[in-house]
Amino acid sequence: MSMSDNNSRQAAAKLFSEELLELCESGLLAEKGLREIIERHGNIYRHVGDYEFFGWACMNERVTEGIIQCLLGLFPAASSAIDEDGWSPLHFACCNKNMTVNIIQLLIDASPDSVRSVTNKGRMPLHLLCGTEDIDEIAAVKIFTLLVEKCPEALHH
């Protein structure tokens, strides 16, 4: 592969990642739009190394199981990506008032150690869930139960 091919591939991967980020940050996040972006860019997803969009998708109130499954299918490493503040996708998901236990389970299945991860400020996913306002109480209890089942030591952290 020539240097110009590599540069072109990197530029295309950056553009793809930026488009994903824009969608995942927006109030327009939908599985159909996500799939359209993916199809438009073809196999360039193999060269994406910046997973910031995945954390934004997890925080987006419009996220669905289908969106997370689609992203995990293409970017399995995104599930264990940690940002500069020590946040994992599971941390972001636990701050989403519309989160479901099924999405949390998908994230834990994809990155089992994320349930034990601690941010730079010492917070675990369980702590962030407990601080999330306006979350459905039934969903919160189910998510809380799952997080404690997977990481009981979080109660004493």
What's the CATH code of the domain at 105? 1.25.40.20
What is the overall mean pLDDT for the chain? 94
Residue 87: closest CA among 124, 134, 53, 51:
124
Section 23-28 average pLDDT: 97
pLDDT 10s digits, 45-86: 787 888 999 999 999 999 999 999 999 999 999 999 999 999
Provide the domain count of the chain.
Answer: 1
pLDDT of res. 5: 64
Q: How far apart are CA 120 and CA 82, in angstroms?
A: 11
Letter string b/e over residues 110-129, b meaning 16 or more CB atoms within 10 A of that residue's CB: bbeebbbbebeeebbbbbbb
Residue 152's domain comprises 3-156
pTM: 0.92
pLDDT of res. 4: 67
Q: How far apart are CA 150 and CA 157, in angstroms?
A: 14
pLDDT of res. 42: 85
For residue 7, pLDDT beyond 90:
no
